Amino acid sequence: MPDPFARFVSDSLDAIVRDAPGCAAALAVALDAVVLDLVVDDERAVVYRDGHVRAVAAPMAQTSPGIPGRPIVHVATTARTVLDLASGRDELLPAILANRIRVRAAMHDAERLFDVLRLFVEGNARSSAAPGLFAEYHRQVTHESRRST
């Protein structure tokens, strides 16, 4: 299935709106007009606010996935790092310092990224759908990685 990361983020955001509306509303406030350009291995997802916070897959070749006039936070990492963070094998600050996660943005916009991440994780913790969505993402990326080795 293509775009497993964008699908995981998009489906999780829908689940947060359904199961944790308080977190969904706080997510929208935290993101505000900022657009997140997330590159995970060879896949790109764009997160933006349109009422609620939404996520869509975008082509890798696209140089600027942003919405005109909106500030962009660029994040690049690997699926392995995403899985390690979710399982507690890695921590956010060491991952950034060691360049396993690269963040490029104006400082005040980068701060929003961390609020959005915290609320995204907390919203998922309130959703009964989250374990299944994450398990599916985990299955897809580990399956993909086995196929490519």
Partner 1 sequence: MIGLARALARGLGDDLAGVDFNRSPTSAALAHSFKQWVHVAVVDPAITLVANFSAIPAPPGPVAHRLTALVHAGDVRGHVRRFEPERCAMPRGRSALRFDGNELTVVRGVHRLSIDEPALALRARLTMRPVAPPSVLRHLGVRGVFHWAVVPRLHAAGIIEHAGQTYALTDAPAYRDRNWGSFCFGDLSWDWGYIAAPAGGPPCSLVFARLMNAARTRIIEQELLVWWDRSLLASLRDRDLGFECSGAYDGPLTTVPPALALCRPGRATDVPQTVTVLGASSRGRIEVRFARAATARIIVPNDVPNDTRNVRNHARPGITTIYESFGEASIHGRLDDHELAVTGRGFFECVHA
- Residues at the interface with partner 1 (CB under 8 A): 18-23, 26, 85-89, 91-93, 114, 117-119, 121-122, 124-126, 128, 131, 134
For residues 65 and 14, give the distance between their C-alpha atoms in angstroms, rounded to a whole number. 21
Which DSSP string do the residues of 82-138 spell out, in sequence order? HHHHHHTSS-HHHHHHTTSSEEES-HHHHHHHHHHHHHHHHHHHT-TTHHHHHHHHH
H or E element that contains 25: helix 21-31
Distance CA 88, CA 18 (A): 26
Structure tokens at 90: 């890695």
> Based on CB atoms, which residue is closest to partner 1, 22 or 70?
22
Cβ-based nearer residue to partner 1, 6 or 28: 28
CB atoms within 10 A of CB 82: 23
For residue 125, the minimal CB distance to partner 1 (Å) is 5
Task: Please name every residue paired with 47 in a beta bridge, in sequence order, or none if there are none.
Answer: 36, 55
Nearer to partner 1 (CB atom), residue 5 or residue 134: 134
Shortest distance (Å) from residue 88 CB to partner 1: 3
* Residue number, 9 or 58, with CB nearest to partner 1: 9
Nearest residue (CB) to partner 1, 60 versus 92: 92
